Structure 1
Amino acid sequence: MITDLVNSHLNLDIFHLTNRHDNDECSIVPYANINTMSEPSDEQAAMQHYLVCGTEDCQKNGQFYCNACHQPLCEQCRDEHQKSPNTKNHEIVLYRQRKHQLPVEKCKDHPTRNIDIFCKECQLALCSKCSTMEDHNGHKFDDLEDIYAEKYVLWQGEFSKIQKYFLPTSQDLKTDIEEDATQIKKIMESIRTSMKAKAESLKNLVDEVKSENIEHTHTMEKSLLKKLKSQEKTYDDYIAYLWKMSDEFQEYLSITNQKVLFSKTLKIQPIPETTKPVPPVFTAGQFNKDDVTKLLGKVHVPNTDPEKRKIQPMEPITTHMKSTEIKLEQSKEKSDMKQTLSLSSSVTQVREYSVPGIDNAFHVSVDKSGRIWVSDWKGNVVQTDLQGNQLQKIQTSCPSAGCHTATQDGDLIYTNKYKKVIYRITPDKKITEFIKTGPGDCAPLSVHSSRINGDILVGMRMISEAKVTRYSKAGKEIQNIQRDNQGQELFNYPYYITENINGDICTSDYNKCAVVVVNKSGQHRFSYTGQGSKFCPHGLCTDVLGHILVCDDVSKSVHLLDQDGGFLSFILSPQQGINYPRSVCVDDENNIYMVQHCTNTVTVYKYLQ
């Protein structure tokens, strides 16, 4: 267990840790260490393109680090350091493998002494004088700086796990839940539609049977009445016959016809027999609610165990090596001189070419095939090959700064802030409407396609506020980032936007005169406001080491920052003929592509080795 002293400093420094991606080449610089570096003068800064050696009057690349002196060293100064009798026993490592310096803490009992020893028996942080006291006689002590460095590495690893595994995985699970909720809504609506259709079908059948039965009663009634009408006629005829017979009898009974009375034999016909009708009987159908339910169907949840959501296993995450691992690595490096990717001691121009059809370049993007997209203030967007030959040209009718981005699939995505639409151009030159940021007043200013997961990040400006919205590769809105934990507006005018290897979202905010960086969850990490009294950021990008490169119109240079916003150098400056840097991007070969305002020129530089 480490004391509150160490933990309190680690709690402070953990916010300045760099969450590294796949390679250990990425430098991690706590603010405490950055502040110990000597700040260059304006003249020095203009010439500086790398981390400077800490030796006085030496301006070379400080790619090594003395853990005893806590300062970067160039190769020559390292050799001199190791030869000097005063420093020959100092531990010198690569800068990226350096031991982090223990923050200064004064002893309460001995205010002139720093706390730098840890008593293993008492579990207390002490100064060297405290260790000589009677209370600690015979106790074993550890170097507190070693404990701090190891703890720093441990916490860095945990922080890296949070940023690279736990947060992204949890966000993916949350997205999965949201998709499940959408799917459940669709399924339930489909069930309701089916139930309504089934009920309507049954109702139609009931109406049909009812109509047939009623029609049958009319037919039966008509038949019975017809039969009764016939019987009625039979008796009408018989009654007429009786009246006729009555008249004959009356005639025969007259006195004048008495002879006939004795000679005639009269016989009355019997009364005709008829039958009474048998009336129909209605037998009502027997049914209940369950019968109707059986006919209509019933919705239920299957009696099966729910499937657990798949949580991707965490892959091993590379962190700073422990001291024993560092020594082994040093030994190996001394034997085989293994080269690692790092900043070059100078920036070299690789090539330069003009882009036809472009006037006053604003933005540059590189796709996977190495082809270049450049846009200008008139809304022209031109694609060229590596020699500057035009491959295609489109007119967007809506110029904007960081208005286009190349995707992992080789598509180009670009914005139209007036129509509030984001378009996609496929490699076969087919243009489709991809995302609608309206209705409303959300005008898309900048766009970036993530190299991590293909998400689309869009910087938007509304009437009185701004935000960053994340969309999936399919164009589904996933996340909106607008305010910090105190409810303050994070963005004002997100002119350009990009993403770092740890998932940080970096925006160049024109009105705030700052580079505003938030993490993947939307929490504010830092804002970089330049190295002088004025800072006017334009295009920005990141590289495989987590560096942030941003164009500054005031210093006429490209600033190189570490992953936590610490200034490292002016990587491009007027010394390379830079006048109006407007936009930069980095390709898969770690080359910088830069365009300048008032030109149609793309310049390519090499800066890593």
Structure 2
Amino acid sequence: MSETSDEQAAMQHYLVCGIEDCQKNGQFYCNACYRPLCEQCRNEHVKNPDTKFHEIVLYRHRKQQLPVEKCKLHPTRNVDIFCKECKIPLCSKCSTMEEHQGHKFDDLEEIYAEKYALQQGEFSKIQKYFLQTTQGLKTDIEDDATQIRKIMESIRTSMKAEAKSLKNLVDEVIVENLEQTHTMEKSLLEMLKSQETTYDDYIAYLGKISDEFQQHLSLTNQILLFSETLKIKTIPKTTKPVLPVFTGGKFSKDDISKLLGRVNVPNTEPEKREIQSMDAVTTHMKSTEKQFEQSKEKSDVKQTLSLSSSVTKVREYSVPGVVNAFHVSVEKSGRLWVSDEEGNLVQTDLQGNLLQKIQTSGRYEGYHTATQDGNLIYTDKDKNVIYRITPEKKITEFIETGDWTQVSVHSSRINGDILVGMNKDGEAKVTRYNKAGKEIQNVQRDNQGQELYRNPHYITENINGDICTSDWNKRLVVVVNKSGQHRFSYTGQGSVFRPFGICTDVLGHILVCDSVSNTVYLLDQNGGFLCVILSPQQGIKSPRGVCVDDENNLYVGQYGTNTVTVYKYLQ
């Protein structure tokens, strides 16, 4: 096989037709022959007299083949029928034995296919209802725990504020009471000082009287006999002060508790967590699956598509109003939305003319997405709000995310759901909202409880419902299935991998930019590396944003230029 043939074989990504030497896409399946068929071989199969009565269905609707099990009595025969009377599996030769004469038999493969379908249905219930609903309840519990922490912290803050307020009042009363004691003390001391002065004056008076008496004694007897008798004033009367008495306050711990308040749990019946009925979830799933089938049918029309041997540049847009092109969203009309690291978000027409320009808080993230109904959705990480722009240029608030900051956003082409990558306080998650903006799913941890994300700054969805994210901090492409179960992580092709823009195409390929090697990688649906689809050899310098439109054109935005380049890579 030539080098070119080897390369083309390595790029094979679809199921090959089971007819010898036919390498076309086996989108059909013959339940009788147990092999896939392409459209041409299917037509020949129907025309062939030997196979025209074979049951041929779409590959995804194929009947499950009965596992091979050798008969214990006839080792050269396979067990393939079921005896209804004996209720045991048999080979065709066993059915001719005497003990099974007159018994009725069923095709064991039919029974197996039926049981397989039932088990698949039960497994589908686990994935689509029980697991998803339980994860939703677990998320509710986590949200309740977060709310309780916030409420209790708020209560503690209020308690401290109440205590501080009471302490301030106590300090104020103490200051007033102490001031009163100083005033009272001063008044009493002034009264006693006045009494001291009274007695000092009286003592001085007595001294003066005593001196006069001494003078009288020194006079002659005649003078003394005729002198007036000395009259002494009575001792002044004073009162003792009434001593102040301190009466202590009468209070208990309960009195203080009443002043400060208490924390109580209301005596109300706890509200039961709402568990959606399986019918409601099934209805939503059927709607989703119907949209998925429509998308799949659209994909079936293009089943002849395959990777081209070379990538062809189709056209270029010089986008006015942006410095770089970190993220690109393409509307159904072909109009572009492009954003740069300075928060500029602009819309251009097919000729590159500026139609709208909005200043946002976005920078290096995939923070905008075109929806199937013609709107554009973009995030504001400063306000934690997701906005919606209608074709009439009306901007309205669409979703509020509380204290979670949006990093990236993507509108599903399968059902219109909105996928949002978010982070908060070192944690990160992906949340799914329906078209009305109602939260319906959270993806944060794997089955071992490990954090899946750190900074999911670009996000997209594959045709099978897988959620694919570029995580800048983890330096990985992280992929989970539509139920939120971790499928795989892609670590790049070199020793260092720093993923940026990511998108998927109609064939389930994953395309992701690597800012280290300045290339765009092409992966299969299971994370297998297929090839480097764009590199500096094709004129790519610093790819940052990628997007595929409905016509399978690949749009690439780059750092250092406002040019968006369009390529054809499918044929």
Structure 1 residue 591 corresponds to structure 2 residue 551 = yes
CA contact (8 A) 1:506 1:518 kept: yes
> Residues 106-145 of structure 1 correspond to what in structure 2 (within 5 A)?
106-133=70-97, 136-145=100-109
**Equivalent-residue separation in structure 2 for 1:45 and 1:171 (angstroms):** 41
> 2-side partners of 1:286 and 1:306: how far apart?
40
Query: 1:455 is aligned with what amino acid?
Result: V
Is the 2:330–2:370 contact (alpha carbons within 8 Å) kept by the matching residues of 1? no
- % same residue: 61
Deviations 1:297-317 (A, max 9, x none): 111222222222333334226
Instruction: Decide whether aligned partners of structure 1 residues 363 and 193 sit closer, same or farther in structure 2, where only a CA change above 3 A counts.
Output: closer
- Secondary structure of the 1:215 match is helix
Matched, 1:196 2:170: no
Between the aligned partners of 2:551 and 2:119, the Cα distance in structure 1 is: 33
CA contact 2:159–2:260 (8 Å) conserved in 1 = yes
Structure 2's unaligned 5+ residue stretches are 287-296, 381-385, 396-400, 402-406, 434-441, 493-498, 514-519
> 2:198 aligned with 1:234, yes or no?
yes
| Structure 2 contact 557–565 (Cα < 8 Å) conserved | no
Q: 1:560 to 1:281 in 2, by over 3 A?
A: closer
Which residue of the partner structure matches residue 145 of structure 2? Answer: 181
Contact 1:369–1:410 at 8 Å: present in 2 too? no
Give me the whole-angstrom Cα distance separating, in 2, the residues matched to 1:389 and 1:498: 27
Change (3 A) 1:559 1:221: closer
Query: CA shift at 1:291, angstroms?
Result: 0.9
Mapping of 1:389-538 within 5 angstroms?
389=353, 406=369, 410-411=376-377, 449=410, 451=412, 452-456=417-421, 470-472=429-431, 498-500=460-462, 503-506=465-468, 517-519=479-481, 521-524=484-487
Letter of the 1:292 counterpart: I
Q: What is the CA distance between 1:54 and its match in structure 2?
A: 4.2
**Aligned partners of 1:306, 1:117: CA distance in 2, in Å?**
56
Matches of residues 78-157 of structure 1 in structure 2 within 5 Å?
78=42, 81-82=45-46, 84-133=48-97, 136-157=100-121
Q: In the alignment, is residue 316 of structure 1 matched against residue 282 of structure 2?
A: yes
The offset of 1:284, in angstroms, is 0.9
1:216 corresponds to which of 162, 171, 180: 180
Separation in structure 1 between the aligned mates of residue 326 and residue 20 of structure 2, nearest angstrom: 40
53-62 or 210-219, which moves further after superposition?
A: 53-62
Summarize the Cα distance change of 1:221–1:580 in structure 2 as closer, same or farther, 3 Å threshold. Answer: closer
Letter in 1 for 2:487: H
- In structure 2, do the counterparts of structure 1 residues 558 and 296 end up closer, same or farther at CA, with 3 Å as the change threshold? closer
- Work out whether residues 503 and 512 of structure 2, in 8 Å CA contact, stay in contact via their aligned partners in 1: no
- Which piece of structure 1 moves more, 165-174 or 219-228? 165-174
Partners of 1:268 and 1:47 in 2: CA distance: 138
Cross-structure match for 1:304: 268
Where relative contact order (Cα < 8 A, 6+ residues apart) is larger, the structure is 1
Question: Is 1:68 the counterpart of 2:26 in the alignment?
Answer: no
Amino acid at match of 1:127: C
Q: Could you give the per-residue CA deviations for residues 332-366 of structure 1, whole angstroms, max 9, x where no partner exists? A: xxxxxxx87623364599x9533236999998643
CA distance in 1: counterparts of 2:174 and 2:285, whole angstroms: 80
Q: 2:246 corresponds to which residue?
A: 282
Query: Equivalent residue of 1:273, what SS?
Result: coil
Q: Tell me the residue number matched to 2:301.
A: 343
Unpaired segments ≥5 residues, structure 1 = 1-40, 321-338, 415-423, 436-445, 459-467, 530-536, 574-578
Partner of 1:244, secondary structure, is helix
Distance, in Å, in 1 between the alignment partners of 2:218 and 2:70 is 163
Looking at structure 1, the residues matched to 457 and 431 of structure 2 have their Cα atoms a distance apart, in angstroms, of: 21
Q: How many Å separate the matches in 2 of 1:242 and 1:255? A: 21
How far the C-alpha of 1:294 sits from its partner, in A, is 1.0
Give the Å deviation of 1:207: 1.6
- Deviation by residue 1:418-458 (Cα, 9 ceiling, x = unmatched): xxxxxx99979x9xxxx9xxxxxxxxxx9773634422289
Cα distance per residue 1:23-71 (max 9 Å; x no partner): xxxxxxxxxxxxxxxxxx7698699897665445666665543321223
* Alignment equivalent of 1:355, drawn from 304, 313, 317: 317
Q: Secondary structure at the match of 1:353?
A: strand
Deviation at 1:287, TM superposition (A): 0.9
CA distance in 1: counterparts of 2:92 and 2:528, whole angstroms = 33
| Match of residue 461 from structure 1 | none
Q: TM-score, normalised by structure 1?
A: 0.61
1:106 is displaced (CA, Å) by 2.5
CA separation of 1:547 and 1:343: change in aligned 2, threshold 3 A: farther
Question: Structure 2 vs 1, CA of residues 102 and 250 (structure 1 numbering), >3 Å: closer, same or farther?
Answer: same
Query: 2:554 is aligned with what amino acid?
Result: M
Give the Cα–Cα distance (whole angstroms) in 2 for the partners of residues 87 and 66 of structure 1. 10
Alignment partners' CA distance in 1, 2:302 and 2:444: 38
Matched to 1:279, the amino acid is L
1:240-266 deviation per Cα after TM superposition (whole angstroms, max 9, x unaligned): 323333333344344614345345244
Paired with 1:139 and 1:344, the residues of 2 have a C-alpha distance of 50
- Which region of structure 1 is more displaced relative to structure 2, 243-252 or 272-281? 243-252
| Alignment-mate amino acid for residue 355 of structure 1 | Y
Secondary structure at 1:233 match in 2 = helix
CA distance 1:128–1:229, change in 2 (3 Å): same
- How far 1:279 moved relative to its partner? 0.8
